[in-house]
Amino acid sequence: MKGFDFHRPASVADAVAFLKGNDGAKLLAGGQSLLPVMKLDLAQPTDLVSLAKIAGLDEIRAEGDTLVIGALATHDQVATSADVKRLIPGLAKLAAGIGDPQVRNRGTLGGSLGHADPAADYPAAVLALGATIATDRRTIPADDYFTGLFQTALAADEIVTAVHFPVPKRSAYAKFAHPASKYALVGVMVAKTGGGVRVAVTGAGSKAFRVPGLEAALGADFTPDAVPDGAVSTADVRSGSEASPEYLAHLATVMARRAVQACL
Ligand X SMILES: Cc1cc2nc3c(=O)[nH]c(=O)nc-3n(C[C@H](O)[C@H](O)[C@H](O)COP(=O)(O)OP(=O)(O)OC[C@H]3O[C@@H](n4cnc5c(N)ncnc54)[C@H](O)[C@@H]3O)c2cc1C
Binding stretches for ligand X (CB under 6 A): 26-34, 36, 51, 71, 98-99, 103, 106-108, 110-112, 114-115, 117, 120-122, 154, 159-160, 181-183
| Residues ≥6 apart with Cβ < 8 Å to 206 | 118, 148, 149, 238
- 155 vs 219, which CB is nearer to ligand X? 155
- 33 vs 132, which CB is nearer to ligand X? 33
210: DSSP letter: E
- Minimum distance from CB of 145 to ligand X (Å)? 11
Dist. CA 210–CA 202, nearest whole Å? 9
Q: Please, are residues 119 and 183 in contact by the beta-carbon 8 Å criterion?
A: yes
- Minimum distance from CB of 121 to ligand X (Å)? 4
Which residues in the chain belong to E strands, given as ranges? 5-7, 25-28, 47-50, 60-63, 66-70, 132-135, 139-141, 146-148, 151-152, 160-166, 170-177, 184-193, 196-202, 209-210
- Minimum distance from CB of 253 to ligand X (Å)? 21
Q: Which of 252, 202, 201, 248 is nearest to 227 (CA)?
A: 252
- 8 vs 182, which CB is nearer to ligand X? 182
Give the count of alpha carbons within 13 A of 119, CB side only: 16
- 163 vs 256, which CB is nearer to ligand X? 163
Q: Which of 190, 157, 196, 152 is nearest to 171 (CA)?
A: 190
- 34 vs 232, which CB is nearer to ligand X? 34
- 94 vs 231, which CB is nearer to ligand X? 94
Q: Please, are residues 78 and 34 in contact by the beta-carbon 8 Å criterion?
A: no
Q: Please, are residues 203 and 182 in contact by the beta-carbon 8 Å criterion?
A: no
- Minimum distance from CB of 223 to ligand X (Å)? 28
- 43 vs 224, which CB is nearer to ligand X? 43
- 183 alpha-carbon distance from chain centroid: 12
Dist. CA 96–CA 80, nearest whole Å? 8
- 68 vs 218, which CB is nearer to ligand X? 68
- Minimum distance from CB of 248 to ligand X (Å)? 17
- Minimum distance from CB of 206 to ligand X (Å)? 16
The dihedral formed by the CA atoms of 79, 74, 183 and 206, expressed in degrees to the nearest 10: 120
- Minimum distance from CB of 104 to ligand X (Å)? 8
- Minimum distance from CB of 122 to ligand X (Å)? 6
